[in-house]
Structure 1
């Protein structure tokens, strides 16, 4: 079949309920589908008799299904996009655990735990390569070494919920304030999305508080606060600093701890026995987004989130995790490079996206595992003011108000453009007819379907 004649399809496999929804754009003449056990053969009805199976477009499935054969006729419906519900035969693992509910123990671990960071000695800015920690190597070699001697996992992302945890692990953690845990000198504490470093190990001439976050009233509230950090050389965001102030005017700020985001830094490792340089690969940004969501779901049993701008704390988006373990298979067009502006931490996502898309089109493809979500962008100020003047209260605005007032909704913070670009991109793989389908089913008007690709270590 010629590329111009390729039939567009989209399949979504929900392993929890052993179901595959297979949607296909049916040609005017109709379509014959030969299904199972591991693939779907698509044959335009005009060729089914003359060409048999030789000219079929084969779609490999991510699970075994019962073999069958069916003919789709678009003249019987108002849409050319038709869907088939296929029953996936349970695997050995799923048959021993038939429950369809999400189990927190099944959530994938966060990328790059301490076990994978052994040998870490220094960190660099992902955008420009600027060394962020003190260099303990040869003075003549700017990349000579680093201060990190020990790498330890943090017990949880939610430090303040671990009452007196630090008392049981004094060799690993030091108390900062009311349950907050801090790294000791020469130590790196590894969280799901960041690495915590003692201030004495940070090259403070390499980092600066981001300009938009420098103004703060230290006369109100506590005297220790997290402030966004940027690389001094290129002003690219690299993490957060835990600062304290003695004077009320905030002119004597002292850095206590630094929290570097894994997706904004590069890792320098060294074998302590041989001195050989170790390669510590970076993971995709979406992997850390998923880790944040899993951590909140695991500890708070919540699946609804308000995403905020890390720098300004402004609301950006509503997100509802529908299913964390889906598999999608599609040949829908993806977003073009020129259509979005990619920040440095997203370049790896872009390269991986192109590679995975090419891989999905090969015969060995089995799709990609994703977290399925619904999301709704914040309405613009102009839109909001227009509705207010006209006395209109849209369903989108009502949804924002309900979620903001719901204590069961968690807040997560990311750099402003990172997350929205990923979700907008993922929505492009859905046929237009399906993109808003969840709204009518779940009465979540205005929300779009998006996917966060999961990178799961086997």
Structure 2
């Protein structure tokens, strides 16, 4: 008999909650825990030992949900079983809250250890920066993207805060030094391979240089393939020509030579951005916005920092041949809405001071939405949306998750 399985580990209370679907009605007593395995009669649904979990066999509770959850002639059962507390499956509340368990990708220490020679466009391998004769051997980590706000908070109670504020300046690129941010490399223009990048002229034409600062960050593309790779800091000269002073190359648009052991993707950096913004602004709500189009692609609510998901492919839509293979993933549970700019809820979130904006190249915003939708497809249909009366701001939001490493 085919058994569809999805479960979440609630690590704070050490409980595993599962939803199971069968293609025929069974007695709730047919579900048992034996030898640390969940069984349905003679079928092993999941072996918890393989995932470092230890269940209490006497705590298993099973409830049939056939009345409202019968999907496609399948019978739905909800299970709950207590787990024994184990170190490898428990994350302390402080580490979860601060996001200290997440891997930092390509830090200054990593770059020195790799003895890097080139930064290349990930799409076409165009060389963007070369470390010839170790001319860029100096690598330094940059502080948090929100360092200016943090410093302002620290000095606002001092007797003469203006003395410190007068010395606060933007961090500038340094010739011969690779400055490493959380999701980009800050490069001096003289360290760039000539003719390797080009300005996004369409965006540049939209800028009003009479407003705001004298320098502005504008998207830049690879000169070979035309894909976005970062942004350049430009100043407008008297003859209206734009002069580039520095550039940020997004890590998720690059490869390093020699090749590192792991190649992070865009979603790895989304995790870091959300954790970093939440630590500084104490917000769980984000607007995902395209850099070029200014379109709002999604509204995102960070529902749970650290959730473990265990599932097979039984609940996926349009699966012809179910394998029953169990996947075990750690991630952030997300409530999201794929929306349009004229949506009333978008306007409400845009004007809410507790909402943070995460701005990415449009193609990566689309990738983020598709990634979330693919995780929603793993869930049982009854769990794919959030409509809790105590959370009106997320009515009809979809449920998904982002993997963490």
- Structure 1 residue matching 2:129: 3-state secondary structure: coil
CA distance in 1, matches of 2:330, 2:273: 17
Q: Does 1:452 align with 2:402?
A: yes
The alpha carbon displacement at 1:162 in A equals 5.6
CA distance in 2, matches of 1:403, 1:121: 44
Distance 1:121 1:75, change over 3 A: closer
Q: Does 1:9 align with 2:14?
A: no
Q: Does 1:260 align with 2:288?
A: no
1:377 to 338, 345, 348: 338
Distance 1:208 1:370, change over 3 A: same
CA distance in 2, matches of 1:75, 1:376: 28
Residue 157 (structure 1) aligns with? 145
Residue 269 (structure 2) aligns with? 288
The alpha carbon displacement at 1:78 in A equals 5.3
**Superposed, which structure 2 residues align to 1:429-444 within 5 Å?**
429-437=378-386, 439=388, 442-443=391-392, 444=394
Q: Does 1:108 align with 2:102?
A: yes
Gaps of at least 5 residues in structure 2 are 153-166
Q: Which moved more, 1:194-203 or 1:87-96?
A: 87-96
Residue 213 (structure 1) aligns with? 203
Gaps of at least 5 residues in structure 1 are 44-52, 137-144, 165-176, 270-277, 337-356, 385-396
Q: Deviations over 1:155-185 (max 9, x none)?
A: 2122433659xxxxxxxxxxxx963212311
The alpha carbon displacement at 1:313 in A equals 2.7
1:406 to 345, 348, 352: 352
Q: Is the 8 A contact 2:179 2:186 kept in 1?
A: yes
- Structure 1 residue matching 2:354: 3-state secondary structure: coil
Residue 157 (structure 2) aligns with? none
2:191 to 185, 189, 201: 201
CA distance in 1, matches of 2:193, 2:242: 16
The alpha carbon displacement at 1:150 in A equals 1.3
Distance 1:407 1:440, change over 3 A: same
The alpha carbon displacement at 1:256 in A equals 1.4
- Structure 1 residue matching 2:3: 3-state secondary structure: coil
2:372 to 420, 423, 434: 423
CA distance in 1, matches of 2:12, 2:94: 5
Q: Does 1:185 align with 2:131?
A: no
Q: Compare the two structures and name the one with the higher strand fraction.
A: 2
CA distance in 2, matches of 1:57, 1:238: 45
Residue 235 (structure 1) aligns with? 226
CA distance in 2, matches of 1:101, 1:197: 32
CA distance in 2, matches of 1:102, 1:410: 20
The alpha carbon displacement at 1:100 in A equals 8.7
CA distance in 2, matches of 1:185, 1:317: 38
**Superposed, which structure 2 residues align to 1:264-343 within 5 Å?**
264-269=253-258, 279=260, 281-332=262-313
Q: Does 1:58 align with 2:46?
A: yes
The alpha carbon displacement at 1:70 in A equals 5.8
CA distance in 2, matches of 1:408, 1:75: 40
Q: Deviations over 1:328-351 (max 9, x none)?
A: 111136689xxxxxxxxxxxxxxx
Distance 1:221 1:75, change over 3 A: closer
Q: Is the 8 A contact 1:37 1:64 kept in 2?
A: no
Q: Is the 8 A contact 2:62 2:78 kept in 1?
A: no
Q: Does 1:33 align with 2:65?
A: no
CA distance in 1, matches of 2:26, 2:293: 53
Q: Is the 8 A contact 1:302 1:410 kept in 2?
A: yes
The alpha carbon displacement at 1:74 in A equals 5.6
